[in-house]
């Protein structure tokens, strides 16, 4: 009799009820089975919302339906609908979503955990991919979560709708919503995934009260959005934003009226006069038409439901979800705008119009006496506007501790492949400890960088502070000290781009003071 009681107790306290080769977890919607990789259990393609197809296209995500039996979750789901993913420039296949399958039915997440019991309460890390809000997938090789899971982190990666399927705004959609808003379906997917995690992650050994959200590029903008959104309150406790943010950048996102106008133009292109007609069109027709729209037609919308219409003022007034922050950029982020460099005369004239009496000071910081100097200044300005200034302003407006970084480290060359330097996204495999998923002849310098960077990230995920044994000290950021952790061949602290940041931040704050509230 004692043996029977003991077995019953083990069934209650043990997380995985089947054999180690096929772990099974009971979620709020039904049982899921995964795959055991050594000490780490992996669950891929776990549904967190109903498929957003048919009548659910361009609607807020709906709860996932319950199922009976055990659902096999041992492979990635389809990636969201987008143009066919193909490697380009520096972004080799490890950085790109699988070319197929692509589907509107994409709202699934993946979990890596070595938790064995609901009592484990391991820190939870939620990864949100980039891709300019028009592409991306949680199935990219460099987003693998096994190594972090080995360190006691429950690693979760999520899919969300992108492009026209994730960010179409339209007057009819706005009226239908009952929220006077439309267009942010991709961000609502992210919020729904976080709600699912709050309800279910304990069953995977995770702590719903210790959740860190993180992302890079459009994923970084997404983190900025989730921290801004009142709908995100209580769903996470720390934030990591890598390369990009809304504060002061002006590069991504539009006000609702402008976004609705794009939606009307798009509807005309596909010859649809009603929402029913739009929703009945094949996804391939929708995607083909969307690909012909101007860049930025489908991106986050400032509409005062998911996102505040005046996001900079929102942060400045402390209305955001104030949590510990780790944020920064790679030096190659500035190259994202390099192809649009203006001739020196045009750049100078633009500066005089924009900055008026302060244009002389601006041109001292960003000189343009020659074509080469002008291009270099514009690359540096692009870096500041895209990532440096948003990171600075977010940290300044945050009451919680904030840690800023710059990555100047250049990955070891790949034979017969151009050297793109410290390029946009190159830091991700170092931070996530996934260099083994990126095919290059890595050297000891790369391994050391990976070990240190991923240690900082894991420390922050656990405690909200990147510091710990075996890594150089990383001070909190303030506008006064300007101390930023520079990840180069040597890892050191120092004030980086401090004069440029101070000038650009002062101009933004001046505009805010002059602008009436609500404008």
Annotate 208-261 with three-state secondary structure: EEEEEEEEECHHHHHHHHHHHCHHHCCCCCEEEEECCCCCCCCCCCEEHHHHHH
Report in angstroms the alpha-carbon separations of 132 from 216, 221, 253, 345, 468. Answer: 10, 9, 11, 31, 34
Q: Quote the CA–CA distance of 519 and 507 in Å, as a whole number.
A: 17
Banded pLDDT at 20 (limits 50, 70, 90): low
For the beta carbon of residue 244, count every other beta carbon within 10 angstroms.
Answer: 29
Per the CB < 8 A criterion, the answer to whether 441 and 435 are in contact is: no
User: Is the pLDDT assigned to residue 5 strictly greater than 60?
Assistant: no
List Cα–Cα distances, 394 to 79, 247, 311, 405, in angstroms: 31, 7, 11, 13
122-128/301-302 β-pairing: unpaired
For helices 371-383 and 344-355, angle between their N-to-C axes, nearest 10 degrees: 50
And the tokens for 127?
């990864």
Q: What are phi and psi of 470, to 5 degrees?
A: 85, 5
Nearest alpha carbon to residue 76 among 23, 26, 144:
144
Nearest residue to 108 via CA among 148, 143, 79, 141:
79
Partners of residue 436 on adjacent β-strands: none
The CA-atom distances, in angstroms, between 369 and each of 99, 214, 287, 342, 381 are 45, 40, 44, 12, 16
Strand partners of residue 74: 44
261-265, 335-339, 487-491: least confident range: 335-339
Distant-in-sequence, close-in-space partners of 513: CB < 8 Å, separation ≥ 6: none
CA-based angle 200:206:209, to the nearest 5?
Answer: 85
Query: Which tens digit of pLDDT belongs to each residue from 92-136?
Result: 999 999 999 999 999 999 999 999 989 999 999 999 999 999 999
Full-model pTM: 0.95
Identify whether the C-beta of residue 422 lies closer than 8 Å to the C-beta of residue 173. Answer: no
The pLDDT value given to residue 336: 86
- Find residue 44's DSSP bridge partners: 74
Mean pLDDT, residues 7-24: 54
| 329 prior amide bond cis, ω within 30 | no
DSSP assigned state of 91:
B
Identify whether the C-beta of residue 43 lies closer than 8 Å to the C-beta of residue 197: no
The pLDDT of residue 511 is above 90: no
Average pLDDT over the chain reads 93
pLDDT tens for 350-409 read 999 999 999 999 999 999 999 999 999 999 999 999 999 999 999 999 999 999 999 999
Q: Which residues pair with 494 in a beta bridge?
A: 484
Please report, for residues 56, 285, 471, the alpha-carbon distance to residue 53 in angstroms, rounded to integers and kept in the order given.
Answer: 5, 14, 48
**What is the Cα–Cα distance from 483 to 473, expressed in whole angstroms?**
11
Q: What are the extents of the domains in the chain?
A: 1-121+141-202+249-312
Q: Given a cut of 50, is residue 10 above it in pLDDT?
A: no
CA distance 96 to 104: 18
Q: Span 455-476, mean pLDDT?
A: 97
Q: Which CATH class is domain 1-121+141-202+249-312?
A: alpha beta
d(CA 462, CA 320): 22
d(CA 409, CA 411): 6
């Amino acid at each position: 009799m004692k043996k029977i009681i003991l077995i019953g107790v083990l069934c209650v306290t043990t997380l995985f009820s089947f054999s180690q080769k096929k772990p099974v977890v009971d979620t709020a919607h039904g049982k899921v089975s995964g795959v055991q990789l050594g000490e780490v259990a992996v669950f891929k393609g776990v549904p967190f919302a109903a498929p957003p197809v048919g009548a659910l296209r361009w609607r807020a995500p709906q709860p996932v339906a319950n199922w009976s039996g055990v659902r096999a979750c041992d492979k990635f789901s389809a990636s969201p609908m987008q143009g066919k993913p193909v490697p380009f420039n520096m972004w080799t296949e490890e950085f790109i979503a699988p070319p197929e399958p692509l589907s509107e039915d994409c709202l699934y997440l993946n979990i890596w955990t070595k938790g064995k019991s609901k009592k484990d309460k391991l820190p939870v890390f939620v990864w949100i991919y980039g891709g300019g809000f028009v592409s991306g997938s949680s199935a990219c090789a460099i987003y693998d979560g096994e190594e972090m899971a080995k360190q006691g982190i429950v690693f979760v990666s999520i899919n969300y709708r992108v492009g026209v399927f994730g960010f179409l705004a339209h007057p009819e959609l706005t009226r239908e919503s009952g929220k006077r808003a439309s267009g942010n379906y991709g961000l609502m997917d992210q919020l729904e995934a976080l709600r699912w995690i709050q309800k279910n992650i304990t069953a995977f050994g995770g702590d719903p009260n210790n959740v860190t959200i993180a992302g890079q590029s459009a994923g970084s903008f997404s983190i900025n959005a989730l921290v801004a959104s009142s709908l995100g309150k209580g769903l996470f406790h720390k934030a990591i934003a890598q390369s990009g943010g809304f504060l002061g950048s002006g590069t991504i996102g539009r006000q609702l009226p402008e976004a609705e106008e794009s939606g009307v133009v798009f509807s005309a292109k596909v010859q649809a006069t009603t929402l029913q007609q739009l929703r009945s069109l094949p996804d391939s027709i929708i995607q083909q038409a969307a690909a012909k729209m101007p860049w930025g037609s489908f991106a986050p919308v400032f509409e005062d439901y998911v996102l505040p219409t005046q996001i900079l003022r929102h942060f400045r007034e402390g209305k955001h979800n104030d949590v510990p922050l780790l944020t920064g950029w790679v030096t190659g982020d500035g190259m994202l705008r390099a192809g649009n460099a203006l001739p020196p005369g045009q750049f100078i004239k633009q500066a005089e119009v924009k900055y008026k009496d302060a244009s002389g000071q601006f041109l001292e910081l960003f000189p343009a006496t020659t074509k080469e100097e002008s291009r270099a200044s514009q690359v540096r300005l692009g870096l500041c506007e895209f990532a440096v200034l948003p990171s600075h302003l977010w940290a300044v407006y945050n009451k919680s501790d904030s840690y800023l970084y710059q990555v100047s480290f250049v990955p070891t060359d790949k034979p017969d492949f151009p050297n793109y330097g410290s390029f946009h996204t190159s830091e991700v495999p170092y931070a996530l400890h996934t260099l083994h998923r990126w095919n290059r002849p890595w050297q000891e310098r790369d391994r050391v960088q990976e070990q240190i960077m991923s240690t900082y990230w894991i420390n922050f995920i656990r405690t909200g502070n990147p510091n710990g044994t075996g890594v150089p000290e990383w001070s909190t950021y303030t506008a006064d000290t300007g101390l930023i952790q520079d990840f180069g061949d040597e890892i050191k602290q120092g004030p980086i781009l401090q004069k440029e940041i101070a000038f650009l931040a002062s101009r933004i704050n001046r505009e805010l003071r002059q602008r009436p509230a609500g404008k």
